[in-house]
Amino acid sequence: MTRSLGVAVVGFGWMGHAHTRAYLRARHHYPNLPIAAHLVTVADPEPGRADAAAEQYGFAGSTTDWRELLTDPRVEAVSVTAPNFLHREIGAAVAESGRHLWIEKPVGLTGDDAHAVAAAATEAGVRSTVGFNYRAAPAVAEARALIANGAIGRVTNARFRFFSDYAAHPEGALSWRFTRSHGGSGVLGDLASHAVDLARHLLGDIESLVADTVTVIPERPTVTGAASHFSRADGPPGPVENEDHLNALLRFTGGARAVLEASRVAVGEQNTYGFEIHGTTGALAWDFRRMGELSVSTGADYQSQSYRTVFAGPGNGDFGAFQPGAGIAMSYDDTKVIEAAGFLRSVAEGTPYGPTLDDAVAAAVVLDAMLDSVRTGAWVSL
């Protein structure tokens, strides 16, 4: 017997759409889920946006004030896809009201913010899922399994890169993402948080690090009203207050070393997200833009041991919930469906599936350490 779970979505930019589509599709791909999402209401302060979302997706209601959701007895779980600076206030309030929480990364602007939301969820006894969706890619699941099984030997060194050009144009609008008070640490919270989560997911805890950042475009044209990652503007220039680019060196508790890079101003790079991981007997590489492919070098030759391409297929992560055979492409939205299914299952069974607020706290602590390292110019231990 499938139970209905009343859900609400707070914030309806791109990620609000992604969460809503994922809720609607979850039972299509996971027909045995013991729980199904019912779209109760959507909240967004931008005039007309919530109403349009309700009409498009079939929410029963809409509002400009997210606080109204927390007094609606039909709402049992909430997706928080609002801007970063609202994560702590909204996320903690949702948990304190006894509602389950699916929240986008980075869960606030600092480690303290992530800690506060996690503490509220623990105190209330609610389930949580966090939007670290790249770990849900089936090829990433296969990479994790190969590492755990010793297929590449002991991991020695790795590189994690999250490069994008969404802010590369100097006429890109000075939206909330570029202010310290609303966007926090810039590319660290936006892209490096994903890279840190992947690094931890694949290689374990980070022991120490040293980091460097730079703001490449110091001023941008101001804009009135809502603006996306890619919006242009022609208003008076205003200062960019946070980081455009990050380089970091990482040491893991297991002894591995890694380079982690993230940029929102990398000309020529469109969503160049991925990793290369080397071990004593082999290597792995993955590029999000070819999400279903994993480059694998294994064997006993050490030298002249080339990579081969392995296509994700049934048996790799959740691939089988979407396609019947290897080599059939999956999409970004599919990773959010996997995330939604894990969230719904965790609510039904009381057991975490996928990334949780504990993972968000761990990533946020690493990002804070990176900022400490930038300020001091020194290695920071975690």
- How many whole angstroms separate alpha carbon 40 and alpha carbon 5? 9
Report pLDDT digits (tens) over 275-285: 999 999 999 99
Alpha carbon of 88 to those of 67, 117, 132, 226: distances in Å?
14, 6, 17, 21
- Provide the CATH topology of domain 3-133: Rossmann fold (3.40.50)
Which residues pair with residue 62 across a beta bridge? 42
Question: Given this model, what pLDDT does residue 373 score?
Answer: 98
Give me the helices (H) in the chain, please: 14-29, 49-57, 87-96, 111-124, 138-148, 180-183, 187, 193-203, 332-349, 357-376
pLDDT at 228 over 80: no
- Averaged pLDDT for residues 226-245: 88
Average the pLDDT over 78-97 and give the result: 97
Pick the CATH number of 138-326 from 3.30.1520.10, 3.30.70.1230, 3.40.50.300, 3.30.360.10: 3.30.360.10
Q: Which SS3 state, helix, strand or coil, does residue 170 take?
A: coil
Q: Are strands 245-252 and 293-297 parallel, antiparallel or unpaired?
A: unpaired
Q: Using CA atoms, how far apart are residues 104 and 109, in angstroms rounded to an integer? A: 12
> Could you give the CA distance from residue 101 to residue 113 in angstroms, rounded to a whole number?
15
Determine the angle formed by the axes of helices 14-29 and 332-349, rounding to 10 degrees. Answer: 70
**Number of neighbouring beta carbons within 10 Å of residue 229:** 15
* 380, pLDDT greater than 80: yes
Q: pLDDT tens digits for 55-77?
A: 999 999 999 999 999 999 999 99
Domain with CATH 3.40.50.720 in the chain: 3-133
Q: What per-residue confidence (pLDDT) applies to 62?
A: 98
Delimit the CATH 3.30.360.10 region(s) of the chain.
Answer: 138-326
The per-residue pLDDT for range 109-129, each reduced to its tens digit, is 999 999 999 999 999 999 999
